Structure 1
């Protein structure tokens, strides 16, 4: 009870300090402003993040080729492509379909694609992860998301779409930040900062237990690990990484 009261008190203090941001949100100014500024912020933040978790991503993507189609080709759909900082980890000749709900990321995606000519771009779609109807069923070998499930409206619906677009035997690769362990300092601070974090960072939620939705999604095989990413801020260190096979 004491811990809960302390969380509520500290959360209130943070919200008071961030009152101008809440006021802009209430007036309907913050959301369109965030949609325009967020890609610029992510372009910088993603470069820093990639340097810090480079080895984690390299390890995670090391077996992408294992899920190539019988012809040897690999078609990959990335959900929430953002500025395209994952492109460097994809194998030569990989055909990619980029999707993001925010169209303002497109120029950053184009820049990243120009730096990674080893990839073949099929198309770039503006679409939420919950509705990928523009992608035919069972048409891709691999689906990827990194730091995306924290901000989607329905993880359950995203899982259904991933399973729909994957061919039988295809795989979903993920690296997502999640809620800290019960009674941990990470979770304590996540609970305090979560409301303002969600407001400032385009719907990003820190306290989601994403692994639970992966476990019950219906994949035939799930390789999932809980890790602490080597990041500066302790409360965003809890991550899950791995892949799930349809």
Structure 2
């Protein structure tokens, strides 16, 4: 009964989004991509405040993947406005990628606020196709709140493995679908059609841990957490790192 109700409610939510679908088809939703970076930049401060301790825990051992001379090249996929910069170790070189070029303005603000880092370049690219980045050229890849909105998670992870040096690490922090028995799961499936447009392609019903398990890394260190301080729809998270 609950499953049937969920499908009915999701259908009505989908109907409500038909005007947004129409705007997307005729190309007017592209205007939102200019506005979304400003929204994301402001949301970053609230999210980081609520997730500060978890992010510190996530990135606490990034330095172990530095080279023998102490250098560390780190690439962030979907860097957005640079929400993770203050968690990266002193002196590491950061390469930024994002498919939305309008993030660069806000990215520069975060760069100025984090002079402990060295910045290499900003590459406008989808996570599924980072051909501008050479094979086995970085020590660490970071991806937070990004795999929810890519078109092909496994292809992104394939690219991660390609650009990582042998023994390099991929760090992730992603919201995922809740347990099927929960009301959060119910609401995620009902509201996802609307959330997709408001979140610039964000999908809130992905079981991303399954993709990580299938990606072919030599080690996977992953744990499920409840981010109790954030919006109910995205409280279920996974975090951790995998090693090539």
- TM-score bin (small chain): over 0.9
Return the match for 1:207 from 205, 208, 228.
205
Deviations 1:17-60 (A, max 9, x none): 45543443344312x12211110110111111111000000010
> What does residue 2 of structure 2 align with?
3
In structure 1, the residue matched to 2:171 is: 173
Q: Cα 1:139–1:206, aligned 2, differ >3 Å: closer, same or farther?
A: same
**Greater shift in the superposed pair: 157-166 or 3-12:** 3-12
Mapped partners of 2:11, 2:219: distance in 1: 42
Out of 49, 57, 67, the residue aligned to residue 69 of structure 1 is 67
- The C-alpha deviation readout for 1:138-175, integer Å capped at 9, x for no partner, is 11010000000000111111111100110011000000
Q: Give the Cα–Cα distance (whole angstroms) in 2 for the partners of residues 183 and 122 of structure 1.
A: 46
Residue 185 of structure 2: aligned partner: 187
1:36 aligned residue: 34
Indicate the residue corresponding to 1:224 in structure 2.
Answer: 222
> Where does structure 2 lack aligned partners over 5 or more consecutive residues?
none
Distance verdict in 2 for CA 1:27–1:86, change over 3 Å = same
| Matching residue of 1:102 | 100
Q: Determine the structure 1 residue equivalent to 2:136.
A: 138
Q: TM-score, structure 2 length as denominator? A: 0.96
Correspondence for 2:23: 24
TM-score, normalised to structure 1's length? 0.95
Whole-angstrom distance in 2 between the partners of 1:71 and 1:232? 40
> Residue 60 in 1 paired to residue 20 in 2?
no
| Residue pair 1:34, 1:200 contacting (<8 A) in 2 also | no
Instruction: Mark the runs of 5 or more structure 1 residues left unpaired by the alignment.
Output: none
CA distance in 2, matches of 1:212, 1:5: 26
Q: Distance in 1 between matches of 2:14 and 2:214?
A: 35
Q: Distance in 1 between matches of 2:199 and 2:94?
A: 26
The aligned length equals 244
Instruction: Determine the C-alpha separation between the residues in 1 that align with 2:189 and 2:145.
Output: 18
Distance (whole Å) between structure 2 residues aligned to residue 154 and residue 102 of structure 1: 17
> d(CA) in 1 for partners of 2:15 and 2:156?
34
CA RMSD, 1 decimal: 1.3
Alpha-carbon distance in 2 for matches of 1:25, 1:7: 25
Deviations 1:56-92 (A, max 9, x none): 0001000010110122111100000000010000111
